[in-house]
Amino acid sequence: MNYLDDLNENQRTAVLHKDGPLLIIAGAGAGKTRVLAHRVLHLLKDGVLPEEILAVTFTNKSAKEMRERILELIRSDRDLNLPISQSSLRAPTPFVSTFHALGVHIIKENATLLGLKRHFSIFDRSDSIRAIKEAMKKSDVDQKQFEPRKVLGLISRAKGDGISLPSYQENAGNDFMKRVVSQVWERYEDILKKECSLDFDDLLLKMMVLLEHNDDVRNKYNNTWKYILIDEYQDTNKVQYRISELLAGTSKNICVVGDIDQNIYSWRGADIQNLLDFETTYPNTTTVLLEENYRSTQNILGASNAIIEKNKNRVEKKLFTKQSSGEKIVVSSGYDEEAEAHYITQEVERLVKNGVAHKEIAVLYRTNFQSRILEEVFLYEDIPYQVLGTRFFERKEVKDILSFMRAAYNPENTADIKRIIDVPPRGIGKVTLLRMIEKRDHELSPVMKKRVDDFKTLLVHIREYGVAHKPSETVKYILKESGLETLLKSGKDSHKEENLERLQNVYELVTLATKYDNFSPQEGMEKLLEDAALATDQDSLEKETDAVKLMTVHASKGLEFDYVFVSGLEEDLFPQHSNDDRDSEEERRLFYVALTRARKKVFLTFASTRMIFGSREVRLPSDFISDIPDEYIETEGEAFQKRGDLLIIE
């Protein structure tokens, strides 16, 4: 079959376009990944070399899916003859990456220009919070008066807008909050520099600086990547927009895919204008609209269209499908949040009894606090569930092993040293640690000096071993030589089960590390550490488990399920009201995203009363429910009532 045969007319137009800017407005479930993968194949068949193509998206999951789709198309096309690389004896492939992983790649190749070592560390959010708290302490800023997470959020937003520390300080003026943030930011940068580290926002900001202020660097990548493809363009912030523009160079062979109706991240800097202004930024743009949906039934799409068309700041489009109308959307109310949760579990059990797999069901909510009662009832009813966000790389024992790796390659990273200095216990206290970090080892007693020297020797041995062995073997080496394996195997009876689970997690890390064994030892180790640092909430779903998925609507973006429950549809909860019309439109886009996650059926639930901040409040159903035309809805009314301590199902 010809590779174009399974595409609709508009998809084919997008795939066959070659030179110049291309804007693809792709509705939810409209096959955008298929289009991007086929577009890459078409470029290859048209003579473009694989290494001349760069495809960028936002999540590891999306990048992995795109990479697999492209490779599958390449492998299955018998007419495609790609040159074989002499160094690897295999055909080169397009560079498919997330924005942050691309930043790591470019920064590592040009580390000396930024005054960095190649083996710099990447702060995850917990590292950044720890450093912010330390910076606040050094700046005499009261953490009770100024919440560290908020301070970090303001710094992150400024970096995402491309604002440097000097510029921020210069514009702080008499703004008290900005002056406080300026103080803390300065100390925070000192900590990053001292530990030879970058945070997530630096990976983008430093990449932009390199491309913007160094002609040789920019020209190098313009000559390397002659065709740029960017997914989820509506989620780009100012820095990502500028990076895209710089990489596109003078040829402007840039293809972006986006959907304004799915822009839900303005709170972290995503700028909807990047997509709205694309045709102005890139004159002579070819624009293609993808409206045919391959995921959901017509009833789901009809409701989704009715919801989103009330927004004014959008590109007009209307999703449709050739599938059947499907089941109507169920709306159900409960007396309180517990009744609502019991209704959801009852429906889940009914679906499972009818042959639906647990993993094909998702329960979505607007804010994280809503998960508590849901988890409680799912546990009570003994229904397997998985909360999105419980990341493998965040488990203590896994972070310990990774810290040993990072500290071996980057001894300046005091965060990792602090984490593992007493894992397992070595009898090294805070005073000794401080002297060690400040390089005042000569002040230590002979006993303490030996303990510190033994620890430093261990790190040297790990580094030497890692240079010569596969990453999976290095993980095993660390587990054994650090004493962590012995510690976890010799726990007290009361902790044996917990320790066994922790040991199994480290064994799982060994298994995961085998994915990197095909690289050279050093490159494999670097890639393992990078992927661990850049892991997102959705990566917690990488290991397939047959369980109902519980997550926020934000976290569900890019995912799809047969059956979706959207809970807590109450005024001031979903939507969360503000006086800003832009916020109101974003709440509506968020509900649109929630609806379009479903393939077969949607359940909308709300409670008549809910406990909020310790007080029980009477709740009104969300306006979103009344915005859906009656033809798409069936109402179950007051599905539960509370009488005394009993829940009566009516």
Question: Other C-beta atoms within 10 Å of 153: how many?
Answer: 15
Annotated active-site residue in 199, 201, 202, 232? 232
Does residue 358 contact residue 547 with C-beta atoms inside 8 Å?
Answer: yes
Contacts of 54 (CB under 8 A, 6+ apart): 94, 95, 97, 102, 225, 227, 228, 229, 247
CB 96 within 8 A of CB 63: yes
Q: Where are the beta strands (DSSP E) in 327-383?
A: 329-334, 361-365
Give the Cα-Cα-Cα angle 514, 539, 255 (nearest 5 degrees).
Answer: 105
Triad 580, 584, 587: Cα angle to 5°: 140
Q: Which of 52, 124, 195, 231 is catalytic?
A: 231
Name the E strands within 263-358: 286-290, 329-334
Tokens 């071993």 belong to residue: 465
Catalytic hit among 11, 59, 183, 262: 262
Q: Could you count the other beta carbons within 10 Å of the beta carbon of residue 550?
A: 24
Annotation says 372 is catalytic: no
Residue with tokens 């012995």: 486
- 575 upstream amide cis, omega within 30 of 0: yes
Tell me if residue 187 is catalytic.
no
Interatomic CA distance for residues 295 and 599, integer angstroms: 5
Q: What 8-state DSSP symbol labels residue 537?
A: G
Check if the beta carbon of residue 30 is closer than 8 Å to that of residue 319.
yes
Count of CB atoms within 10 A of residue 215's CB?
9
Tell me the three state secondary structure of residue 237: coil
Catalytic residue among 33, 234, 240, 386: 33
Helix (H) or strand (E) holding 633: strand 633-638
Q: Determine which one of 133, 187, 588, 597 is catalytic.
A: 597
Q: In the numeric block, which tokens belong to residue 198?
A: 């970058």
The residue annotated as part of the active site, out of 11, 32, 199, 245, is 32
What SS3 state is found at 47?
A: coil
Determine whether 250 is an active site residue: no
Distance separating alpha carbons of residues 369 and 568, to the nearest angstrom? 11
Catalytic residue list contains 231: yes
Residue 545 known to be catalytic: no
The dihedrals phi and psi of 467, each to the nearest 5 degrees, come to -70, -25
What tokens were used for 193?
Answer: 């520099």
User: Locate tokens 């959705």: which residue?
Assistant: 538
Answer whether 617's CB lies under 8 Å from 610's CB.
yes
Tell me the HSE value of 56 on the side-chain side, using a 13 A CA sphere.
24
259 is catalytic: no
Phi and psi at residue 55, to the nearest 5°: -120, 125
Which residues are designated catalytic?
32-33, 231-232, 262, 597
